[in-house]
Amino acid sequence: MEAPYDPRLLKGIEEFNQGLYFQCHETLEQVWLEENGEDRLFYQGIIQIAVGYLKWEEGVMMGSIKLWRSGLEKLAAYPAVHLGVRLDSFIDHVRGNLGEIEIAHRKGGIVPQLRVPRLSLEA
């Protein structure tokens, strides 16, 4: 019987939730490079959002903005739960963070503190 989830997806989720955004990118990129079907943009969207949080940690607001916009655009094409991953609340949270950082960037302020969302599997 086939496992319900690619173990690399599970590892990428765990890395994201631990704040290991670069490692999450590396892990999910392996799957993304192999994927030629409809899930390719799903993985790319999560990767871009993860790297956006890495840029946020580095204080590069414009990098975060660009990556989050691109990642959100890709994930918007998927249902609320895709490959077992709860996207609806995750997307809403990232959009909120994007709004906060866009305001800070327009005002020329410092990089705001954000509450980072968690990636989770549907129970």
Q: Assign domain 7-106 to its CATH superfamily.
A: TTHA0068-like (1.10.3450.10)
Task: Please give the DSSP secondary-structure letter assigned to residue 50.
Answer: H
Q: What is the chain's Cα-based Rg?
A: 14
Residue 83 contacts by C-beta under 8 Å, 6 or more apart in sequence? 5, 6, 9, 39, 42
Could you tell me if 112 and 101 are in contact, meaning their C-beta atoms sit under 8 angstroms apart?
yes
Predicted local distance difference test score (pLDDT) of residue 4: 74
pLDDT in tens, the chain (123 residues): 345 778 999 999 999 999 999 999 999 999 999 988 999 999 999 999 999 999 999 999 999 999 999 999 999 999 999 999 999 999 999 999 999 999 999 998 899 999 999 999 986
How far is residue 82's CA from residue 88's CA, in Å, rounded to a whole number?
A: 10
For residue 123, what pLDDT is reported? 65
Q: How far apart are CA 78 and CA 99, in angstroms?
A: 21
For residues 62 and 83, what is the distance between their CA atoms, to the nearest angstrom? 30
Backbone angles phi, psi at 81, to 5 degrees: -130, 125
The pLDDT of residue 2 is 45
